[in-house]
Amino acid sequence: MHNIYIYILVMAVVTYLVRMLPLTLIRKNINSRFIKSFLFYVPYATLAAMTFPAILHASDDMRASVAGFAVALILAFRQKSLLTVAVAACAVVFAVEWFLI
């Protein structure tokens, strides 16, 4: 049987190096317009890809998830704060599941 603490150590070291190396090694400003534009778009593409379709399976009932997703979109379009949007999405899921399940 392998030691769980060594597993945790291996995971922590690999994950930390992935995060640490670019931050410590890249000190200069990148001048390439392509790379700058690419990096500008990265967070939006990543978060969008992580959100959809995963959000549909984030609660027990897909109808509740769809309702939560719709409410989050509407509130975000109206530029509500992060906390407001997150709490409203959860509240809608809770309410919809309450009535449907």
Partner 1 sequence: MKKENEFKRGLKDAIPVCLGYLAVSFAFGIQASEAGLSVFQASLMSLTNVTSAGQFSSLDLIATNAAYAEMALLQLVVNIRYMLMSTALSQKLSSKESTLSRCLVAYGVTDEIFALSVMRKGRLKPAYSYGLIICSVFGWVSGTFLGAFAGEIMPHRLISALGLAIYGMFIAIIIPDARKNAALMMVVIGAMAMSTLFTYMPVLSTISSGFRIIIVTVVIAAAAAILAPKGKEEVVDA
If you count them, how many residues does the chain have? 101
Structure tokens at 92: 């809608």
Residues 43-82 that bind partner 1 (CB under 8 A): 43-55, 58-61, 64-65, 68-69, 72-73, 75-77, 79-82
Q: Does 99 contact partner 1 by CB under 8 A?
A: no
Contact pick of 62, 63, 90, 99 for partner 1 (by CB under 8 A)? 90
Helix (H) / strand (E) element for 13: namely helix 4-25
d(CA 15, CA 20): 9
Q: What are phi and psi of 43, to 5 degrees?
A: -60, -35
Contact pick of 62, 63, 97, 100 for partner 1 (by CB under 8 A)? 97
Site string for partner 1, 19-38 (x = CB under 8 A): xxxxxx-xxxxx--xxxxxx
